[in-house]
Each structure stands twice: as structure tokens, then as C-alpha cells.
Chains A and B, each alone.
Chain A
Amino acid sequence: MKRLGPLAGWILPAAILVIWEFLSRIGFIPENVLPAPSAVAAAFWRVLVSGELAQNISVSFWRASMGFLIGGSIGFLFGLANGLSRFSETLTDTTLQMVRNVPHLALIPLVILWFGIDESAKLFLVALGVFFPIYINTLHGIRTVDPQLVEMGRTYGMNNWDLFRRVILPGALPSIFVGLRFGLGIMWLTLIVAETISASSGIGYMAMQAREFMMTDVVVLSIIIYALLGKLADAVARLLERYTLAWNPAFQSR
């Protein structure tokens, strides 16, 4: 098969845009249902010039990354502790598994009661959502490290720290990255829902405001921005993955 260039992934979205614009121009898609791509671009320009867009994106980005950082690091630490220590696992895993089975978005009413609609509510929800994929995949990664390599490390005189640094952590890394990418997806999902329901800034808020005034172009623009941010986060994760997993044939020369 012929190799596709790096931009090949964008052929399909571009084609969809062209067809969409065409259908809007001939009036097949009414303006108040779905605005034409050109109208969305115009809306983009408008909010960009007014500074509204930069303001909202930076607020959303800050919430997403802070929530991810908090939830992700707690999840990672619990994953490490429970992967390495039976004691810690016995103590906490049952609780964590019970909490995991509660859809974190179902907590929104409670979270609003606790935190109101300010920043901490969103951070809490994002952190909670991100926690579990990172926790579970870190734990799984550590548990599935090849015991033969651990035994090799021990016979070659590695102490616990060396063993962790040179054998266990690198062995768990592919699985941790799976958790990271799941976590990034959940991060955006949670933020969208939280911002749409209760917020006074951010992309979700911008979309809800626009809905009040029937500005479909801004609504569509918000959705597209979410998609692009999600894609960006995934690309960063991939880059990290390729850099740290260079040894793995599955990640080489792609």
C-alpha cells in the first residue's frame, strides 16, 4: 500500500467542510439549524477580534489542565502505591472501585451544592473524572510488568529503588500512557458538561450564551474549538509516547 502523508488525516474533514458549505449556500441546510462554515469562520473572526475567544479558551484550558494535573497525579500515586504494595491495595482498592462505579457527572448537583458554580466545582469534577483511568492503567501496568525481568533485576543486585526506576516504571509506561489518553478524553468531556451546565466563563459558557441569542454560528464554533483542543491534547500525548517509548517496536518509525 502507498504511504499516506502526514496531512492525509485532514482530507476527510476538509471534504466535509466543502460539502457542508455547498449545501448551506444552495439553502439545503437552513441558517438557523446549522450555519455555513463561512459563517462560523466569520463568527470566529468576530470573537477573536473582541478578545472574547482568547479569554474563554484560556479559562477552559486552565480548568482542564489544572483538573487533569490534580486528578492525574493523585490517580498515578494511588496506582503506584497499590501496584507496589499489597497493604495499600487491600486498604484502598475496594473503596476506589466503589467510587469508580458512580458516574462522576451524576455528582454535578451535589458538586454545585458544595462548591457553587465557581472554579473549584469544575476542577473537582475534572480531577475526579481523570483520576480513574490513570489509576487503573497505572495499577494494571505495574501488575503486568514481566516478573522474569523483576527477578533478573533482583539477581543482578538492584535495590528497590533501582528496580522501580529501571524495571517497573518503564515496564508500566505503555499502560500508563493508555490511561493518560483516556484521561485526556474524559477531561474535555467533563469540562464541556460542567461549563455548559454552570459557568460564567469558558468555551461552554460562550456556547450557552450564544444559544440564548440564537447565534448558532458561535455554538458551532465552540464545538469545533472543543474538537480541536481534544485533538491537540491527543497529539501531545502521542508525542510524549513516541519520545518515551522509542525502544518499543510498536512506536518506532511511524
Chain B
Amino acid sequence: MFADAMTFIETATRRPPRELTTGTAVPFEVLTEVAPTRGQGSALSIRGLVKTFDQEPVIKGLDLDIPAGQFVAVVGKSGCGKSTLLRLILGLETPTSGSIEGVGATGGTARFIFQEPRLLPWATVADNVAVGLGRSGSRTSRRKAALKALSEVGLDGRGDAWPAVLSGGQRQRVALARALVSHPRLLALDEPLGALDALTRISMQGLVERVWQDQGFTAILVTHDVSEAIALADRVLLIDNGRIALDLAVDLPRPRRRGTPAFAALEKTVLDTLFGFEGGEAI
């Protein structure tokens, strides 16, 4: 009877992630030694990607190359398929056709940050972060790494707190620590700051940029906030109707300041494409 146990849970929550995110975890000791060095992001190569749900195409033949360590922001109207693209890359969905190479080939780990923190309410903050390490290493070494990751996101000394007592921004920081504690080569962020208030958002954006610069993973950020995309990303992809409508390099020096003319010009380019305006017409 127990042979098929969990099948319900499995089918109810989509497919299990691709092997690369689970089975190939590098032993913890190795991770801590190699971790601080930069530039170990994984490169990604997508060819002819198609995904249909119930005959309804969501991704319609998409080609994309992401060099290692690049910060890519994916923007688009809701329902354009940007979240689906992210889930496909992480192996949370299987492509209808086409291929995604890179994450698995390099044997790196990929981590996903959801829109909600998705912390286990019955585990302490440190234990929640330790979820990111799976079973690698001993209990004490996992706890040590978790506390270190927590201090990196500015949550020193909150390791033994319950998630219920944290604020929304703090919870999302814990989720960030959980994703980063295993030093992933690819970090996928699905509108992770969408539920936060404006001020917390800006400080979180700074935090995401800083850890990305420190750790050098490849980052793919799905967002509906164009200015957030331009503030953080090396490259902004605009997805429209299941295809890439705009592939824009953002060549501004970091840390970026909103409101500069160059920033505003890029923002306008993206918004104009998003709403279908031709070159000269302004909003």
C-alpha cells in the first residue's frame, strides 16, 4: 500500500523537480570550501522551447542563451508565460518540446525563491534555512551554515525565532538565506518582492544585488516591476505572448540610481514595447 503512498501529493503539486536540483547536491564540506569564490554560475541554453497547457500554448518556441553569472530579469504582462518559463528552467514543469541545457550539464544546484516566503511555520528560522542544505553534512555544521547565511541577509540572532514572529520582509530574507545557503549556481526568483511594501522592497533589491555580486550565481528574476528589472539586471527580457519580444542589455554602472536619464530611457523602451507603442509616441 505504501508503495504508491505520496502519489497523491506528487500529482497534486505538479511534477517533482528535475534530477539536477535534487540528486546532484555537492557534499556540504565541498560547498563551504569552494563557495566564497565568484563566478561559478551556470550558463543556460534554451532551444525551441514549447509548453502547452490543455492544448493552450503558453511558451511558443523560445530560444535563449544566458551566460554564466548573468543577472537576467524577465518582465511581461500577467499571463504572458514568464512564470512558466522560470518553472520550466527549474524543472518544476516539463517542456512539451524543445530543450533546456546548462543547469544539469554543469551539475550545479538551482534554487527557487517563490512569491511567498513558504517557510515551515513549525520549524525555527535556522531550521528553515537548513532545509536548503538537505541532508548534507552533520546537524551542527548545517546549523552553523544556516546561521551564517542568516547573518548575510541581516538576520543575526534570529535563528531560534519562529517564522510567525517575523515581519513579511524578514520572512522573505529567511527564504533568501534558505536559497543561498547551499550556494546555488542558478537562482530563480519569481516576483519575490511583489508582496512587500515599497521601502522594504528597495532594501531587499539592494540585498539581492549584493549577494549576487558576492556569490556570482546566475540569476533569473521574474518581475512585473520594470524599474526593479532595470535596477538589478544585466539584461531585461520582455516576454509577450509566449515569445521574447525584447532582449535589452542594461549597461548602467552599479549601484544604479533610479531617475537618471539613462535609467529612464531604458525604462521607457521596455514600457513602450510592453504596451505596443512605436518609437516616437510617448505615453
Residues of A at under 8 Å CB distance from B? 81, 83-89, 147-158, 160, 162-164, 166-168, 170-171, 173, 245-249
- Evaluate whether A84 and B121 lie within 8 angstroms (CB atoms) in the complex, with A148-B114, A155-B21, A155-B90 already known: no
Chain B residue at minimal CB-CB distance from A149: B118
- Select A150's contact among B1, B13, B90, beta carbons within 8 Å: B13
Residues of B within 8 A of A245 (CB): 122
Main secondary structure of the interface of A (DSSP, over half): helix
- Select A170's contact among B116, B118, B120, B164, beta carbons within 8 Å: B120
In the assembled complex, the CB of B207 is this many whole angstroms from the nearest CB of chain A, namely: 20
The stretch of B2-10, B58-66, B145-153, B192-200 that contacts the partner chain? B2-10
Answer yes or no: B132 CB below 8 A from chain A CBs: yes
Residues of B within 8 A of A246 (CB): 162
How many contacting A-B pairs (Cβ < 8 A)? Answer: 96
Residues of A within 8 A of B123 (CB): 166, 170, 247
Is B17 a contact of A86 with CB atoms below 8 Å?
Answer: no
Is B4 a contact of A85 with CB atoms below 8 Å?
Answer: yes
- Evaluate whether A160 and B134 lie within 8 angstroms (CB atoms) in the complex, with A155-B90, A247-B123 already known: no
- Select A148's contact among B23, B116, B135, beta carbons within 8 Å: B116
In the assembled complex, the CB of A90 is this many whole angstroms from the nearest CB of chain B, namely: 10
Residues of A within 8 A of B5 (CB): 81, 84-85, 88, 160
Answer yes or no: B14 CB below 8 A from chain A CBs: yes
- Select B131's contact among A89, A156, A164, beta carbons within 8 Å: A156
Residues of B within 8 A of A154 (CB): 13, 16-17
- Evaluate whether A247 and B12 lie within 8 angstroms (CB atoms) in the complex, with A81-B5, A157-B25, A166-B120 already known: no
Is A157 a contact of B134 with CB atoms below 8 Å?
Answer: yes
Is B6 a contact of A84 with CB atoms below 8 Å?
Answer: yes
- Select B134's contact among A151, A152, A156, A247, beta carbons within 8 Å: A156
- Select A149's contact among B16, B92, B120, beta carbons within 8 Å: B120
Answer yes or no: B213 CB below 8 A from chain A CBs: no
With A and B bound together, what is the CA distance between A148 and B119 in angstroms? 10
Chain A residue at minimal CB-CB distance from B15: A154
Which residues B10-57 have CB closer than 8 A to chain A? 11-14, 16-17, 21-23, 25
Chain B residue at minimal CB-CB distance from A170: B122
Answer yes or no: B212 CB below 8 A from chain A CBs: no
Residues of B within 8 A of A173 (CB): 122
- 5 A-B pairs besides A86-B11, A148-B114, A157-B21 with CB distance below 8 A are A85-B5, A154-B13, A162-B134, A166-B131, A247-B164
Is A147 a contact of B2 with CB atoms below 8 Å?
Answer: no
- Select A85's contact among B1, B163, B178, beta carbons within 8 Å: B1
Residues of A within 8 A of B178 (CB): 156
Is A247 a contact of B121 with CB atoms below 8 Å?
Answer: yes
Is B114 a contact of A152 with CB atoms below 8 Å?
Answer: yes
In the assembled complex, the CB of A237 is this many whole angstroms from the nearest CB of chain B, namely: 18
Give the 10 A-B CB pairs with smallest separation, nearest first: A157-B22, A170-B122, A152-B118, A84-B5, A247-B122, A160-B6, A85-B5, A151-B13, A86-B8, A249-B164
Answer yes or no: B217 CB below 8 A from chain A CBs: no
- Evaluate whether A167 and B4 lie within 8 angstroms (CB atoms) in the complex, with A84-B9, A155-B92, A157-B22 already known: no
Chain A residue at minimal CB-CB distance from B179: A156
In the assembled complex, the CB of B92 is this many whole angstroms from the nearest CB of chain A, namely: 6
Residues of A within 8 A of B164 (CB): 247-249
With A and B bound together, what is the CA distance between A154 and B122 in angstroms? 17
Residues of A within 8 A of B12 (CB): 147, 150
Residues of B within 8 A of A81 (CB): 1-2, 5
With A and B bound together, what is the CA distance between A202 and B25 in angstroms? 60
With A and B bound together, what is the CA distance between A158 and B141 in angstroms? 19
Is A156 a contact of B132 with CB atoms below 8 Å?
Answer: yes
Q: Which of B131, B134, B135, B164 has the most CB of A within 10 A?
A: B131
Which residues B71-90 have CB closer than 8 A to chain A? 90
Is B1 a contact of A155 with CB atoms below 8 Å?
Answer: no
Is B17 a contact of A85 with CB atoms below 8 Å?
Answer: no
A-B contact pairs, 21 of them (CB 8 A): A81-B2, A84-B8, A85-B2, A85-B4, A86-B8, A148-B116, A148-B118, A150-B12, A150-B13, A153-B131, A155-B90, A156-B111, A156-B178, A157-B134, A162-B134, A163-B6, A166-B120, A168-B9, A170-B123, A247-B164, A248-B121
Chain A residue at minimal CB-CB distance from B124: A247
Residues of B within 8 A of A248 (CB): 121-122, 164
In the assembled complex, the CB of A173 is this many whole angstroms from the nearest CB of chain B, namely: 8
In the assembled complex, the CB of B108 is this many whole angstroms from the nearest CB of chain A, namely: 13
Is A158 a contact of B120 with CB atoms below 8 Å?
Answer: no
Residues of A within 8 A of B14 (CB): 151
Is A150 a contact of B9 with CB atoms below 8 Å?
Answer: yes
Chain B residue at minimal CB-CB distance from A88: B1
In the assembled complex, the CB of A122 is this many whole angstroms from the nearest CB of chain B, namely: 30
Residues of B within 8 A of A157 (CB): 17, 21-23, 25, 134
Residues of B within 8 A of A247 (CB): 121-123, 162-164
With A and B bound together, what is the CA distance between A156 and B23 in angstroms? 10
